[in-house]
Amino acid sequence: MDVVIIGGGITGTVLTHLLAMRSVHVTLVDAGLQKPRYPLIHSKLLRFHEDITLSKISEEVYLELSRKLGIKVLQPMDSITVIPSECYSDTAKLINLWHEAGARVKVINDIGKYGLKKAANNEVYILSSDGDNLVNYVQLMRRIRKYNNVRYVEGKARVNVSNDSVEVVVNDRTLHGDYYIITAGAWNSTVARDAGLRVPLLPYKCQAAAFLSRRINYILYDYVLDIYMRPLGSTMDHVLGLSGLSIVVGGDGNSKTTEPGKEEGVDREFLNEVSSKVMSRLGNAFLIGSRFGYCEVTPDMRPAVGTLDLSNLVFMGGFDGYGAEVGPALALALTEYLFNGSWPGYAKPYLIDRFGNNWPSTWDISTEAHELCV
């Protein structure tokens, strides 16, 4: 089987590994528009039952890749979730699902011993082990180049759909395959529009900031301040940790709808807000860097996968801020579709057909699907 994949980001990378390991010939086209420079969070502590299932399957995919590639893809992390007490009864229902997914979770009284300060009255603290990881995407992306059956093409692909057939053109060359997969992240809507196809997607800018602060060795999901924090996840963590310091990456769920490339740079208001929130939890913290990229959402804020017009033109996207958490499971589902012609049960709630042809031209993207306490 020959498969052409457009987009070698988070999901295109995992899909390429899964197909290459099953002896498929893959042509992976990537335009080099964005790549993670540090590990990304994978968490099973999500809000929707179906997402938790995907996240558990994604963890199994990462473990399979670790075994087969001989690299450590996952770095397990503890996490602390801070919620306002009024959201505890909703969260308690989720805790059972998190347990079933393998997380060990308990409510703790005090976060002082983790170096965190109380920010408001009526906070509840949930400590979790085996619920979260940092994922080494930098390594996973590098290893793509080692397969004999993967051709890596640098360039911007264009999809042409005509007379019931598909072709992909990149650098003035036409690429042929049995299947064509579009996994171009926030550029999916542009690729689809240029091909005369409609997809229910809205691109937006997502941002993060890095701080030098006191050492933390866990992920913090803070639904009181609406922010997350995590260690960088690089070899620097160990070296800095010896002096009681960390590089901490933080962000919030705020998102600004924009076409990729239109709004460059990290917003000053974002940096001010995140800095003050990080300091109210950690004390002194010095802003040392920031990053922006582009993400995308569907109208119900959850990913979508499925065929577009033709049975050999497949789409996977709409991962907002949690592609590393649920993306690999849908990449596995897509692999099963290519081999068997049908989608496994866990992928069915995510099929793109659920939107039909009837979706709004724009929608509110204030809360991402992985965030709690809505």
Site residues, ligand FAD (CB under 6 A): 6-12, 29-34, 40-41, 156-157, 183-187, 191, 206, 208, 291, 293, 295, 317, 319, 321-325, 327
Q: Which is nearer to ligand FAD, 291 or 354 (CB)?
A: 291
* SS3 track for the chain: CEEEEECCCHHHHHHHHHHHHCCCEEEEEECCCCCCCCCEEEECCCCCHHHHHHHHHHHHHHHHHHHHHCCCCEEEEEEEEEEEHHHHHHHHHHHHHHHHCCCEEEEECCCHHHCCCCCCCCEEEEEEEEEEEEECHHHHHHHHHHCCCEEEEECCCEEEEECCEEEEEECCEEECCCEEEECCHHHHHHHHHHCCCCCCCEEEEEEEEEEEEECCCEEEEECCCCEEEEECCCCHHHHHHCCCEEEEEEECCCCEECCCCCCCCCCHHHHHHHHHHHHHHHCCEEEEEEEEEEEEECCCCCCEEEEECEEEEEEEECCHHHHHHHHHHHHHHHHHHHHHCCCCHHHHHHEHHHHCCCCCCCCCCCCCCCCCCC
Minimal distance in Å, beta carbon 118 to ligand FAD?
A: 26
Minimal distance in Å, beta carbon 14 to ligand FAD?
A: 8
Q: Which is nearer to ligand FAD, 124 or 229 (CB)?
A: 229
Minimal distance in Å, beta carbon 314 to ligand FAD?
A: 13
Q: Which is nearer to ligand FAD, 32 or 341 (CB)?
A: 32
Residue at shortest CB range from ligand FAD: 9
Q: Which is nearer to ligand FAD, 225 or 320 (CB)?
A: 320
Minimal distance in Å, beta carbon 309 to ligand FAD?
A: 18
Q: Which is nearer to ligand FAD, 125 or 319 (CB)?
A: 319
Minimal distance in Å, beta carbon 276 to ligand FAD?
A: 19
Q: Which is nearer to ligand FAD, 19 or 206 (CB)?
A: 206
Minimal distance in Å, beta carbon 175 to ligand FAD?
A: 11
